[in-house]
Structure 1
Amino acid sequence: MGNGIKGGIKPVINFKGYLIGNGVTDRNFDGNAFIPFVHGMGLISDSIYEEVKTSCKGNDDQSNLCSKSYEKVDRAVDDLNVYDILEPCYHNPNTASKRNLSLPSSFKELGKTEKPLPVRKRMFGRAWPLRATVNDGPVTLWPQLAEDGHIPCVSDEMATSWLNNQQVRQAIHAQPESVSGPWELCTRRINYSHDAGSMIPYHTKLTIMGYRALIFSGDHDMCVPFTGTEAWTRSLGYKIIDEWRPWTSNDQIAGYLQAYNHNLIFLTVKGAGHTVPEYKPREALDFYSRWLEGKSI
């Protein structure tokens, strides 16, 4: 394709549609999704919820009254895994804070999966905005966020070990450690700014043009809560053609969906976190496959 561009030949892209999972889309919708999410999940009380609604005038409210109300919310959710509130929160034993705890035996039980590794440790990659809205300007990466402490709740031990294995590096065609250095959780060499604004106009344009869009959310992700995604997809004003209903995988309810005209579907995956295929691989494969094949989910 590169040679075609150089030769003046316009490449052909057979674009049919797109899928987006737990994607930050709009600063207002995503920025105001957190409080309804934690309240709906039973993580804050009705009284705290009502207090925040009364005290805060939106996600940009920096008043003392709003800040004091938010402190109560933070105390309630601070030790939860922001990427999946059902998953264990890894406590760094070297951190001088209330998380300076030894790993309890229950942690190993909670982290068990069908995989041979007894404790589930994320293949941790780009994980941002950490309950932040997307504002124009420099994007704060984890190295900057972690300067004052460890990255909360996650461990990069497994990813570090795997990606620094010589055979793995050869298999993925990465340069040897002697050339490029060891793999690290994040890098300070990437600097970029966000200046695209809301993504809603792009979704509107693409769906009006007839492209298929499946917007899905793991419903236990506290980083980019489904409440914001459900709200912005509804805000497009498209006619509902398949009203809120469950969809199934392995003969079990795997989540819920609502379909609109212009080939737009909003779908949740029950019990999944920020990276849906990681937490619910079977369910993810099912709805991916059905959608790609043009079947009803």
Structure 2
Amino acid sequence: MFSTNLLRRKCCTSFSLLLGTIVVLGFSSSQFFVALASAGSKVEYIPGFQHEGPLPFELETGYVGVGKSEDVQLFYYFVKSESNPSIDPIVLWISGGPGCSSFFALAEELGPLTFDVPKNNLTLPTLSLNPYSWTKVASFIYLDLPVGTGFSYAKSFKNYTSNSIETSYHAAEFLRKWLADHFEYQSNSFYVGGDSFSGMTVPTVVQAISYGIEARLKPLVNLKGYLIGNGFTFRMDHLDYLLRSARGFGIIPDELYQSIEECGGGTAPDMNYGLICQFKVGIFLVLSDINFGQNFLETNCYLQEENGVSSEQSSVAKRFRGFAVRALDRYFVCNGPKVSSRWANDGSVQEALHVRKGTIEEWEQCREDLPYHKTVFDSRPYHAILSQKGYRSLIYNGDGDLYVPSLSAEAWTKAMKYPIIDDWRPWFINNQVVGYTRTFSNNMTYAKIKGSAHIAPTVTPLECLVMFKRWISYEKL
């Protein structure tokens, strides 16, 4: 249970050791030479797409070899901007996990495709166009990172073991090699984005790319900044913000909240709770677990199954505060990984995507047994360094998330102690309040999205598209 893991996980980091490791890895001799990456392959048709003729957007897939002897082969999906790809920004998107394929972002979150609710479990799942795709205003490279994720693999080892720092330099090398092969985009503005666990990954990747720029590694990346949605940032083992959010959502009564606070709350995760305090925390965990951690408005999957909730009964196709929204159907909250796996493991699909045969045993949306070591436990030092270098950042949060509460994101962004140049205010779409925002002097913008969740674009797609479009265009939210 996730809430239990919050109590158990311990994390610490030495900032000086972290920087030393980065410098050593970042300036190893292998980083100074960029071989030309093999060209990607255009994808004109994909099985199951509910549209006559070729894809109405430009999709390319391929592999780029990185690391020693290019042993690691990173798989990517590149979707050109539907506006003006020659000048529009390009976003390198890395889904969380770690071990979740960025195909999720392409086909279930913010990309041009969206899965339809399947009619049965026998036929190939189908896909339709996503009317709220972020590719309307920017090009996206959806990268399967780290190695072992999605279709990415290592040639010499079946279970290649990687870590946080090595992965960041794999991504930086990938981007330089991709740019060497796609020279027409070398002047485009580049950003790195991701959500969930990528709150740890994205800042380290941006840092690795920035070190390459400072070392004048060719081709130079026109790096402008990064964006993170509901990202894990630091010490998520404490209960403090989770408790406050649960009280604010009405999941627990005020007397339980106050009594747990008297026990020490979540500010001292290593303290030895007495039996009474343990009992109170246990009640809190049970009440929280009834709700789906990514969105407190949802019922946890095991309870939906026990109560026999069908996809028709739980559809969230809705009209949200006056404008039409096509949100991801609740069916996919519990069944999305099964649907996407059935599609991605089909032979005709892999052939269409130009997947190399025999490189993986089975595609999984999120690989749980990923051979990966977490070696970064606090990304705030990276944010501080990147701010000093002048990079822009957007930190956004759906306010219905129990995994990464928006209260936590509000607190750590403000605790960086940069002057506020645009203080807390609502932001609007069609004269409706859809969230709140503030901007700091270090080019960091924080945005809260009302009624949203852990993977915000799946629940509030229009709001998130407008937020991204305004920010990437240097407009105020």
Q: Which of the five TM-score ranges fits, normalised by the shorter chain? A: 0.7 to 0.9
Question: What's the counterpart of residue 126 of structure 1?
Answer: none
CA distance in 1, matches of 2:444, 2:455: 21
CA distance in 2, matches of 1:251, 1:157: 39
Aligned with residue 108 of structure 1, among 274, 287, 312: 312
- Is this contact kept in 1: 2:237–2:269, CA < 8 A? no
Instruction: Give the SS at the match of 2:298.
Output: coil
Instruction: Give the SS at the match of 2:246.
Output: helix
CA distance in 1, matches of 2:359, 2:395: 40
Aligned with residue 121 of structure 1, among 332, 342, 360: 332
CA RMSD of aligned residues (A): 3.0
> Is the aligned partner of 1:41 residue 2:226?
no
Question: What's the counterpart of residue 283 of structure 1?
Answer: 463
Question: What's the counterpart of residue 79 of structure 1?
Answer: 290
Structure 1 residue 239 displacement after superposition: 1.4
Question: What's the counterpart of residue 269 of structure 1?
Answer: 449
Gaps of 5+ in 2: 1-32, 37-175, 181-214, 319-325
Structure 1 residue 273 displacement after superposition: 1.2
Aligned with residue 13 of structure 1, among 218, 221, 237: 221
In 2 relative to 1, CA 165–248 (structure 1 residues): closer, same or farther, beyond 3 Å?
A: farther
Q: Map 1:238-277 onto structure 2 (within 5 A).
A: 238-277=418-457
CA distance in 2, matches of 1:117, 1:229: 24
Amino acid at match of 1:22: N
Structure 1 residue 118 displacement after superposition: 6.4
CA distance in 1, matches of 2:293, 2:240: 16
CA distance in 2, matches of 1:186, 1:226: 24
- Is this contact kept in 2: 1:30–1:225, CA < 8 A? no
CA distance in 2, matches of 1:16, 1:184: 32
Question: TM-score under structure 1 normalisation?
Answer: 0.76
CA distance in 2, matches of 1:249, 1:222: 25
Question: What's the counterpart of residue 59 of structure 1?
Answer: 269
Residue deviations 1:212-263 (CA, integer Å, cap 9, x gap):
1111111111111111111100101111221111112243222111111111
In 2 relative to 1, CA 273–191 (structure 1 residues): closer, same or farther, beyond 3 Å?
A: same
Amino acid at match of 1:284: C
Moved more, 22-31 or 245-254: 22-31
Higher relative contact order (CA 8 A, sep 6+): 1
Structure 1 residue 104 displacement after superposition: 3.3
Aligned with residue 219 of structure 1, among 394, 399, 410: 399
Aligned with residue 201 of structure 1, among 370, 381, 387: 381
- Is this contact kept in 2: 1:112–1:119, CA < 8 A? yes
- Is this contact kept in 2: 1:258–1:266, CA < 8 A? yes
Question: What's the counterpart of residue 69 of structure 1?
Answer: 280
Gaps of 5+ in 1: 92-97, 123-152
CA distance in 2, matches of 1:235, 1:205: 15
Instruction: Give the SS at the match of 1:255.
Output: strand
Aligned with residue 172 of structure 1, among 323, 340, 353: 353
- Is this contact kept in 2: 1:24–1:30, CA < 8 A? no
Residue correspondences, number? 259
In 2 relative to 1, CA 254–170 (structure 1 residues): closer, same or farther, beyond 3 Å?
A: farther
Moved more, 2-11 or 209-218: 2-11
Moved more, 26-35 or 212-221: 26-35
CA distance in 1, matches of 2:412, 2:472: 23
In 2 relative to 1, CA 109–184 (structure 1 residues): closer, same or farther, beyond 3 Å?
A: same
- Is this contact kept in 2: 1:220–1:273, CA < 8 A? yes
Q: Which has the higher strand share?
A: 2
- Is this contact kept in 2: 1:90–1:154, CA < 8 A? no
CA distance in 2, matches of 1:55, 1:116: 40
Question: TM-score under structure 2 normalisation?
Answer: 0.49
Residue deviations 1:79-103 (CA, integer Å, cap 9, x gap):
2111111234333xxxxxx776141
Structure 1 residue 173 displacement after superposition: 2.7
Residue deviations 1:144-199 (CA, integer Å, cap 9, x gap):
xxxxxxxxx565332222222333323333345x7633333543552222222321
